[in-house]
């Protein structure tokens, strides 16, 4: 039988944690993030900072189930949670006064997924 879904043990563990948190906290956002992480790596989104800046308001957390790239400007301090960050994106996030978190850290900080936006 052929394995489907991610073969990375860390990604599989994260998906299980997200599903568990979704069920116990009635947070559909974490379930959606888990579904997006189950896709093949080449289908995961790569999002520029300009898109995050455009769609996320101050006080919200942007969740990117893929990679955050450093294209564009970040004009407000935002909290961004992602699977991966480019070096340039991390520099720009810190320069704007924002925070870069892993998806696991965001899950621990906000188990109910309040004030979050999933950016794909």
99 three-state secondary structure: strand
For 68-96, the pLDDT digits (tens) are 999 999 999 999 999 999 999 999 999 99
- Residue 120 CB-density burial (10 A; 0-12 exposed, 13-18 middle, 19+ buried): middle
Q: How confident is the model at residue 50 (pLDDT cuts 50, 70, 90)?
A: very high
Q: Tell me phi and psi for residue 67, to 5 degrees.
A: -115, 140
Q: Where are the domains of the chain?
A: 9-118
- In the predicted model, is pLDDT for residue 1 greater than 90? no
Provide the pLDDT confidence category of residue 9 given band limits of 50, 70 and 90. confident
User: CATH says 9-118 is which class?
Assistant: alpha beta
């Amino acid at each position: 039988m052929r394995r489907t879904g991610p073969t990375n043990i860390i990604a599989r563990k994260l998906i299980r944690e997200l599903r568990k948190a979704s069920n116990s906290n009635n947070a559909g956002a974490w379930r959606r993030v888990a579904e997006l992480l189950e896709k093949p790596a080449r289908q995961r989104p790569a999002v520029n900072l300009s898109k995050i800046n455009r769609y996320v308001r101050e006080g919200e957390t942007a969740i990117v189930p893929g990679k955050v790239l450093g294209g564009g400007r970040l004009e407000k301090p935002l909290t961004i949670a992602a699977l991966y960050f480019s070096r340039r994106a991390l520099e720009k996030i810190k320069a704007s006064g924002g925070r870069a978190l892993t998806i696991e850290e965001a899950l621990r900080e906000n188990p109910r997924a309040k004030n979050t936006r999933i950016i794909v």
